[in-house]
Amino acid sequence: MKRYARIFGYLKDYKARIAVYFFSIVLSIVFSILSVGMLMPFLDLIFKGDNGTGSLVEVTTNPVIKTIRETLVSIIQGGGTNGRIEALGIICLLIMVSIFFKNLFIYLSFYALNPVKNAIVNTIRLELYDKILRLPIGYFTEQRKGDLMSRTTNDLAEVETSVVGVLEGWVTYPLTIIINLVILLVLSAQLTLFVLLFIPIMGFIIGRITRSLKKQSRDVALKSGESVSILDETLGGLRVIKAFNVESVLQLKFRRVNEDLVSTKNKISFKRDAASPMSEFLGVSIFCAILYFGGRLVLGNNIMEASAFITYLALFYNIINPAKSLSTSFSNMQKGTAAIHRIEEVLKAPVTVDENPEGKQIKSFNAAIEFKNVSFSYDDFSILKHINLTVRKGTTVALVGSSGSGKSTLADLVPRFHDVTAGELLIDGVNIKDYSLKEVRNLMGIVTQEPILFNDTIANNIALGKENASEQDIIHAAKIANAHSFIEHKENGYQTNIGDRGSKLSGGERQRLTIARAVLKNPPILILDEATSSLDTESERLVQDAINHLMQDRTSLVIAHRLSTVRHADEIVVLQKGEIAERGTHDSLIAQDGIYKKLVEMQEVK
C-alpha cells in the first residue's frame, strides 16, 4: 500500500467529510441488514403463524429478531383475528423504512465523499503543474514533452478512475462484508466458520489474476506518452513533413505505437474483466456449498430453523456483490499503480535550482557579473570548463563560437536556469545562490532566438510579468521595439489574438513583440540569444534597430551568430569546446589572426 500513501496523505485534510462518509456507510449497511432481517419474522408469520395461543413460534436466540417477534406477538394478541394481517403490514412498513434510510445514507455518503475525490485529483493536477514550473531547464532536455503531457492527462485520468474513483470501495465493501459476516456469525457460527474456509482460496485466485496488471499498465502509460509525443512533433513539424513527403513514414510510426497500445490494453482488459466474473462464480460456488451444508443443518439435525436459514442465505448474498466489486477495485488499483508511479516520478524529481527561502534581496544591479573558475557538467558530460569572465555594469559582452561550444549554457547560468557545478557565479560580489531567485530574475530581460509567445492578445504578451502595465506603457514599449506600426494595422490592434505560439504573426513581428516585452520590463541586465539569426534582411534590420534601442544604458550579454552585429561590443569572448579560446575587442581579435578572424572571414565569404 506504500504506492497509495500519497492518496491517503490527502485525506487528512478532509477528516470531517471522511467521518460523515464512514458514519453514513455504517448506517446504510445496518439498515440494509435490517431490511433483510425482516425475512425471518415474515416467513415465521406466513408459514408458522401462532401455536394456537396467539403467539409466534420462537426458537431463535437472535436479540434483534427476538425483539421484533415480541412486538409482533403483542400486536397479534391485541388485534384478534386481524392481528396477523396488522403484523404483516408492520413488517412491510419496516422493510420500506429500512430501504428508505439505507438509500438515504448511501446518498449522504456519496455527497460527503465525491467532493473529496474531486479535490484530491485537482490537488495532484495542481502539484504536477507547480512542479513542472519549478523543475530546472535541464530536466526537460531529458524528457519528451509528449510523455510529460501524457502524465498530466492520461495518467492522471487513470488515477482518477482507477484509484481515487474506488475510494468508496476501500471502505464500503470491506465494511459491508465484515458487518454482514458478524451478523451471519450470530445467526449460525457453525455455518459461518464453514464459509470462512473458502474466502482465502477466493482471494488467492483473484490475486493471481490482478498481480500482473501493474507491469502491463506501465507499458500502456509509456505507449500513450509515445503516441502523444509523435502527435506533438507532427503538429509542430507539419511543414517539414509535407515538404519531404514523409506522411507515410509518420503514419506507419504512429500506427505501430497505437497497435502496441491497443494490444497491451486488450491484455489488461482481459485480465481485469476476468476478476469480476471469476469472483462471482466463486461466490456462487460458496453459496451452493452453503445451501448444501446449511440444508443439512435444517433437514438433518434440526440445528437451524428454516426461516433463519433463508435469512442467512439472503444476508450472505449481500456479501457476494461487495466481494465481486472489491476484487474489481483491487484490479483497478493495480492498473492505477503504474499511473501513480509515473506521476510520482515527476513529483519526486529533484529541483536542483530552487528559491532560496533565506535569499538576500537585490533590487538593483550596481557593479558586475563575475564568473570565477566556473565549470558546468550535465550527467557527467562536461559542457563548460574553468570560465573566468567579468561583465561590468553598462558594458556589452558578446559570446561567439561554433555550435556546441557552450555559448547558450554560459548565458543560462546568469538567470540560474542551471547552477554551476564548480566555481562561483557572483553578482555585485555575492554568490548568485545566496540571492532570492525571483529577485535575480527580476533584474534580467531575455530575448531568445525562437520567439516565445502565448496564445493571447498582443497587449498581454507584451505585458507578460508586468500586471500593472498601462496601455500607454505597452504602446511606448512597442514603439521602441519597432512593433507599433504593424500592430496598428491588425484588425483589433493591441487586442488581436496572435494564435498558438504567435502563429498569426511573421517571424520578425514575433521577435519584435518579445523585444517590446523586454523593453516594458526595463531590466538592468539583458541577455540576447541570437535574436536576429533566423530573420530575413528587412526583418533583421528592424529587429536589430529595436535591439540597439533596448541595449542602451544596459548591461548586455549577447550570444552572436552573425558576427557583424557584435562588432561594437566592449568585449568579444570566443568559446571553443566549453573553454574561452580568445577574448578582446573586434579589432584586437582580428589582429590576433585566430579563431575569431576565421569565423568573420567565413561569414564574409557567404
All structural domains of the chain, each given as residue ranges with its CATH number in brackets, are 2-347 (1.20.1560.10), 368-605 (3.40.50.300)
Q: Is the pLDDT of residue 57 over 50?
A: no
Paired sense of beta strands 444-447 and 525-529, if any: parallel
What cell numbers appear for 562 in the block? 552573425
Q: Is the pLDDT of residue 72 over 70?
A: no
- Cα dihedral 560, 562, 567, 568 in deg (nearest 10): -50
What cell numbers appear for 14 in the block? 478532509
Q: Which of 9-18, 243-252, 361-370, 466-475 has the lowest mean pLDDT?
A: 243-252
Of 51 and 317, the one with more pLDDT:
317
Query: What is the mean predicted confidence (pLDDT) over 194-202?
Result: 71
Of 52 and 104, the one with more pLDDT:
104
Of 467 and 556, the one with more pLDDT:
556
Closest by CA to 33, choosing from 186, 251, 218, is 186
For helices 199-210 and 247-299, the axis angle rounded to 10 degrees is 180
Query: Quick one: pLDDT band at residue 464, thresholds 50, 70, 90?
Result: confident
Of 247 and 536, the one with more pLDDT:
247
Q: Which of 259-273, 324-338, 518-532 has the lowest mean pLDDT?
A: 324-338
Closest by CA to 572, choosing from 390, 400, 365, is 400
Percent of the chain with pLDDT over 70: 78
Query: What is the mean predicted confidence (pLDDT) over 102-115?
Result: 89
The neighbour count for residue 601, using CB atoms within 10 Å, is 11
Average pLDDT, the chain: 78
pLDDT of residue 44: 65
398 within 8 A of 560, measured Cβ to Cβ: yes
- Cα dihedral 159, 161, 163, 165 in deg (nearest 10): 140
Question: Which contacts (CB < 8 Å, 24+ apart) does range 191-194 have?
Answer: 191/290, 191/293, 191/294, 191/297, 191/304, 191/312, 194/289, 194/290, 194/293
pLDDT of residue 319: 77
> For residue range 410-438, what is the model confidence (pLDDT) as tens digits?
988 998 888 888 999 999 999 999 998 88
Q: What is the pTM of this model?
A: 0.71
Query: Quick one: pLDDT band at residue 513, thresholds 50, 70, 90?
Result: confident
Q: Is the pLDDT of residue 183 over 90?
A: no
Of 238 and 113, the one with more pLDDT:
113
Query: What is the mean predicted confidence (pLDDT) over 456-484?
Result: 85
Q: Is the pLDDT of residue 327 over 90?
A: no
pLDDT of residue 2: 63
pLDDT of residue 237: 66
Residue 357: DSSP 8-state: T
Cβ-based neighbours of 357, under 8 Å, separated by 6 or more: none
Query: What is the mean predicted confidence (pLDDT) over 546-569?
Result: 80
Percent of the chain with pLDDT over 90: 7
Q: Which of 30-39, 355-364, 525-534 has the lowest mean pLDDT?
A: 525-534
461 within 8 A of 510, measured Cβ to Cβ: no
d(CA 522, CA 443): 9
d(CA 237, CA 218): 29
> For residue range 246-284, what is the model confidence (pLDDT) as tens digits?
777 777 888 888 788 788 778 777 766 766 677 667 767
Query: What is the mean predicted confidence (pLDDT) over 97-123?
Result: 88
Q: Which of 63-77, 418-432, 434-448 has the lowest mean pLDDT?
A: 63-77
pLDDT of residue 544: 73
Query: What is the mean predicted confidence (pLDDT) over 71-76?
Result: 58
Q: Is the pLDDT of residue 68 over 60?
A: no
pLDDT of residue 426: 93
pLDDT of residue 64: 52
Q: Is the pLDDT of residue 56 over 50?
A: no
Q: Is the pLDDT of residue 189 over 70?
A: yes
Q: Which of 11-20, 64-73, 372-381, 385-394 has the lowest mean pLDDT?
A: 64-73
Q: Is the pLDDT of residue 59 over 50?
A: no
d(CA 141, CA 143): 6
Q: Which of 17-31, 59-73, 179-193 has the lowest mean pLDDT?
A: 59-73
pLDDT of residue 313: 79
> For residue range 342-382, what is the model confidence (pLDDT) as tens digits?
888 888 888 888 788 888 888 889 989 999 999 998 777 88
